[in-house]
Amino acid sequence: MADDIFEVPRLAQLYDPLDPDRGDLDVYVALVDELGARSVLDVGCGTGTFALMLAQRGLDVVGLDPARASLDVARAKPGADAVRWLEGDATALPPLQVDLATMTGNVAQVFVTDEDWARTVTAVREALRPGGHLVLETRVPEREAWRGWTREATHRVADVAGVGRVEAWGEVTDVVGELVTFRWTWVFESDGAVLTSDSTLRFRDRAAVEGSLTEAGFEVVDVREAPDRPGMEMVFVASR
């Protein structure tokens, strides 16, 4: 099951308006070009921003996500017919042979157990053609990014078209080992509704990520910094 932030329709429609700057995706567009990919599986595509960016460039794109509400937002966007949208997780993919699979944003960190992560990367490998690549990002745990996830740092108020004025903030509720749990809260001025969504991310270190990819049959060919957050995130490039 996806977290409420992605699965509840009233929240899914806020995802893009409250986070309109997706400059973090530029590095992945560049990687698509660098790797010469013409077909892409976007794992955890959410509301479809990255998948649509690629489709607009003429690529064959499959957008995969377990959250129906997020996919509904994606399907309603201009150009959405150019993407094949699939509801579910990687373990239930139909037969595919794509050049590249991507996990942008927090996707690689939502798999908190070793078993779920292993099943996912193994299934993604099966969806790649021989010589295809998996590209994913994950935060550097030593930088403890969650220390900045406070109400004061994340608080925002926005006027959302068709929704009205919305107040939102996030805050960490628990840290246990590699697992960080946090809660987002939204207050809707139109009717006073207060909605929350709890999420947990796992902060694996470089050795753990590399080891898990190798076990799944990948060769890690590069680990680089995310240019928009130098020192804070690792971008892994692995080949089948």
Per-residue pLDDT of the chain (240 residues; tens, 9 = 90+): 799 999 999 999 999 999 888 888 999 999 999 999 999 999 999 999 999 999 999 999 999 999 999 999 999 999 999 999 999 999 999 999 999 999 999 999 999 999 999 999 999 999 999 999 999 999 999 999 999 999 999 999 999 999 999 999 999 999 999 999 999 999 999 999 999 999 999 999 999 999 999 999 999 999 999 888 889 999 999 999
pLDDT at position 228 is: 80
Hey, how many other C-beta atoms are within 10 angstroms of the C-beta on 7?
17
pLDDT at position 140 is: 97
Describe the crossing of helices 206-215 and 114-126 by its angle, rounded to 10 degrees.
50
pLDDT at position 20 is: 82
Q: Residue 11 in contact with residue 186, Cβ under 8 Å? A: yes
Dist. CA 38–CA 208, nearest whole Å = 30
3-class state of residue 107 by DSSP:
helix
Cα→Cα distances 155→60, 115, 162, 184, 199, Å: 38, 35, 21, 10, 17
- Of 104, 73, 77, 86, give the one whose Cα is nearest residue 11: 73
pLDDT at position 109 is: 98
Dist. CA 206–CA 235, nearest whole Å = 10
3-class state of residue 131 by DSSP:
strand
pLDDT at position 35 is: 97
Dist. CA 1–CA 231, nearest whole Å = 31
Dist. CA 14–CA 59, nearest whole Å = 27
pLDDT at position 1 is: 74
pLDDT at position 123 is: 98
